[in-house]
């Protein structure tokens, strides 16, 4: 499947993208905010920084670099597989970024953090990542940005990503009080997988294939 070759390409481009330099100042701020005692978990700042930094990989997935969608559209590829590979890549990079923030948090945090808290934080990251994927598969087609960077549009998109990820945490919190953190996160991850595989992949692939000319035009004038 040639679509799988997109995974190493996007990994390499992740380290070449200038916008991702924002991870460095975020990594400095995260441990300071983690010391605030009123957070439910010391990993809340790490999760917030992760979703804000990784926003383009979910909400602008077709224009991570100039000409990305055009180069894909010129090849006889399976759009459903492309969407799946891009979602998997985005989730992998999100977990990798969160792991970096989590390690920094653990190093500077002055209290004890239970292993269960660390595990729950990673599960929250997965739940938020799936929520962004389900939302972003459609949003990336409806409202593309021709470039990613440090503009007000990028800032607004990062805020939107935080709203989507935050909304996904509401059922996590509610179910945690009812059935516990691990079953709650597990149930939501399974539900997200079912929605992603059964609906989101095919719907976004069909919409993308039918709207590529309009998507090019809207991105150009955005």
Per-residue pLDDT of the chain (222 residues; tens, 9 = 90+): 678 888 999 999 999 999 999 999 999 999 999 988 889 899 999 999 999 999 999 999 988 988 787 777 777 678 899 999 999 999 999 999 999 999 999 999 988 899 999 999 999 999 999 999 999 999 998 888 888 888 899 999 999 999 999 999 999 999 999 998 889 999 999 999 999 998 898 888 888 777 665 555 454 445
Q: CB atoms < 10 A from the CB of 169, how many?
A: 18
What count of residues does the chain have?
A: 222
Residue 220 is predicted with a pLDDT of: 44
Structure token digits, residue 182: 């691990």
- In the numeric block, the tokens 């991570």 are attached to 64
Per the structure, how many domains does the chain have? 1
pLDDT in tens, 146-187: 888 888 999 999 999 999 999 999 999 999 999 988 899 999
- Distance CA(161)–CA(165), nearest Å, equals 6
- Distance CA(206)–CA(214), nearest Å, equals 14
Distances (CA, A) of 26 to 79, 132, 150, 155: 34, 20, 14, 14
pLDDT in tens, 203-216: 888 887 776 655 55
**SS3 label, residue 107:** helix
Residue 213 is predicted with a pLDDT of: 55
Identify the domain containing residue 165 by its residue range. 2-220
Structure token digits, residue 202: 């095919």
Residue 214 is predicted with a pLDDT of: 55
- Distance CA(188)–CA(207), nearest Å, equals 26
Residue 150 Cα to chain centre, angstroms: 17
Residue 106 is predicted with a pLDDT of: 94
Q: Which residues contact 142 (CB under 8 A, 6 or more apart)?
A: none
Whole-structure pTM value: 0.91
């Amino acid at each position: 499947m040639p679509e799988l070759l997109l995974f190493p390409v996007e990994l390499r481009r992740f380290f070449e993208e200038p916008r991702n330099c924002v991870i460095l100042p975020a990594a400095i701020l995260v441990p300071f905010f983690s010391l605030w005692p009123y957070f439910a978990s010391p990993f809340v700042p790490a999760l917030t920084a992760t979703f804000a930094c990784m926003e383009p990989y979910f909400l602008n997935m077709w224009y991570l670099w100039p000409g990305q969608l055009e180069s894909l559209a010129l090849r006889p590829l399976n759009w459903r597989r492309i969407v799946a590979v891009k979602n998997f890549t985005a989730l992998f990079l999100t977990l990798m970024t969160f792991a970096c923030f989590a390690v920094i948090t653990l190093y500077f945090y002055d209290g004890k953090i239970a292993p269960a808290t660390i595990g729950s934080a990673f599960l929250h990251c997965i739940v938020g990542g799936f929520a962004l994927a389900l939302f972003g598969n459609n949003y990336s087609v409806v409202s593309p940005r021709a470039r990613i960077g440090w503009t007000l549009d990028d800032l607004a998109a990062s805020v939107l990503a935080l709203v989507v990820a935050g909304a996904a945490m509401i059922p996590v919190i509610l179910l945690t009080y009812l059935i516990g953190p691990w079953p709650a996160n597990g149930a939501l991850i399974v539900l997200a997988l079912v929605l992603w595989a059964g609906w989101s992949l095919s719907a976004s692939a069909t919409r993308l294939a039918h709207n590529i000319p309009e998507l090019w035009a809207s991105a150009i004038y955005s």
